[in-house]
């Protein structure tokens, strides 16, 4: 299905959006691409992002997109090494909590927290990363009972293959073929929003026959970019297949899953379909993502886009064409 799309920040390269509605206004929390001069590779070293901006609007498709400026930088974070990748933000008890992946000084991704009294920041980082955190792509979901959950994980440069049962492996293992696919992770957050309240658990995606997806099923298996929203009483776990460039979704009855694969949200765009967000605003649902059209296909220079998202009467997401 072709949909009208809008570039949100045409004057700069932004990607990996997290999107939430705070105080009746829609806020966008993207990563910030720039030309780092580092050669492209599967570890993602060329994505050497070093700061965050926050954007907001009161009209997704036509309104002004306000840039609230730089709200957090690598140099502000006491434990920082490099690569300030995608982030997400949650609100609780008068404070806004930004969760961000960043490599520490040993070049290992951890997840940090920064706090603000305003949704547009600036955000003040905690002195240490979250205990027991690893990998990338933190996404926060608030359930109807007031519980907050973090979903996270990413393959290849995201380092998820370096862990099993939340412990670092001596040698990384990336499953292949009929081996079970590596799952995303989920953990409920502590009351103070600064730590995990439990050991992270695997997010299991099942096929139509109730069997776990395998690593070789790379047009359906999880690669990165977890995002969860709720629609018509169901939990929708949405994610990227990474090297096959699809955004997919699976549904379940619990924030922990298991989730049953349902289909494709977005077909491949120019560049990598790596990260997205889904949000409802003023009675409509929207898909936020990125592509590399403005940078003429340079995968490390991405631009934010948005289009309307629709469901059919059975709650199926109508597939959107990535290029049109």
Res 39 pLDDT > 90? no
pLDDT on residue 264: 98
Please compute the mean of the pLDDT values over residues 103-107 and round it to a whole number: 97
Please compute the mean of the pLDDT values over residues 287-297 and round it to a whole number: 96
Residue 76: strand, helix, or coil: helix
- Helix (H) or strand (E) holding 141, with range, is strand 139-142
pLDDT on residue 44: 86
Calpha distance 223→246 (Å, rounded): 10
pLDDT on residue 107: 97
The residues carrying an active-site annotation are 16, 224
pLDDT on residue 293: 96
Rounded (5°) CA angle 31-182-311: 65
Q: Which two tokens stand for residue 289?
A: 């993502």
Res 324 pLDDT > 80? no
Q: Tens of pLDDT along 178-229?
A: 999 999 999 999 999 999 999 999 999 999 999 999 999 999 999 999 999 9
Please compute the mean of the pLDDT values over residues 144-170 and round it to a whole number: 97
Cβ atoms 193, 90 nearer than 8 A: yes
pLDDT on residue 274: 79
Q: What is the pTM of this model?
A: 0.97
pLDDT on residue 318: 98
Q: What's the CATH superfamily of 5-309?
A: Glycosyl hydrolase domain; family 43 (2.115.10.20)
**Mean of per-residue pLDDT scores for the chain:** 97
Res 129 pLDDT > 80? yes
Res 3 pLDDT > 90? no
């Amino acid at each position: 299905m072709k949909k009208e799309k809008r570039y949100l920040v045409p004057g700069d390269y932004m990607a990996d959006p997290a999107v939430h509605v705070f105080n009746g206004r829609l806020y966008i929390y993207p990563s910030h691409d720039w030309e780092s001069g580092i050669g492209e590779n599967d570890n993602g070293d060329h994505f050497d992002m070093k700061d965050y901006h926050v954007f907001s609007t009161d009209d997704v498709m036509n309104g002004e997109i306000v840039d609230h400026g730089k709200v957090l930088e690598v140099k502000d974070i006491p434990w920082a090494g490099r690569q300030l990748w995608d982030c997400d933000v949650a609100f609780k008890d008068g404070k806004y909590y930004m969760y961000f992946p960043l490599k520490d000084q040993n070049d290992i991704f951890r997840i940090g927290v920064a706090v603000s009294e305003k949704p547009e920041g600036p955000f003040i980082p905690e002195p240490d990363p979250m205990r027991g955190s690893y990998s990338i792509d933190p996404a926060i979901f608030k359930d109807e009972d007031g519980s907050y959950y973090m979903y996270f994980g990413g393959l290849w440069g995201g380092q998820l293959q370096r862990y099993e049962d939340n412990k670092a492996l001596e040698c990384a293992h990336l499953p292949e073929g009929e081996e079970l696919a590596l799952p995303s992770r989920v953990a409920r957050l502590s009351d103070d929003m600064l730590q995990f309240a439990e050991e992270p658990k695997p997010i299991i995606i099942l096929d139509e026959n109730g069997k776990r997806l395998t690593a070789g099923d790379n047009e359906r298996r999880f690669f990165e970019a977890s995002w969860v929203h709720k629609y018509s009483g169901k939990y929708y776990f949405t994610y990227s297949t990474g090297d096959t460039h699809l955004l997919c979704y699976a549904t379940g009855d619990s924030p922990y899953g298991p989730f049953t694969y349902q289909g494709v949200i977005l077909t491949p765009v120019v560049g990598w379909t790596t990260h997205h967000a889904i949000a409802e605003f003023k009675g409509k649902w929207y898909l936020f993502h990125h592509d590399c059209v403005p940078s003429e296909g340079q995968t490390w220079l991405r631009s934010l886009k948005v289009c309307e998202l629709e469901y059919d009467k059975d709650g199926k997401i109508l597939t959107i064409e990535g290029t049109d």
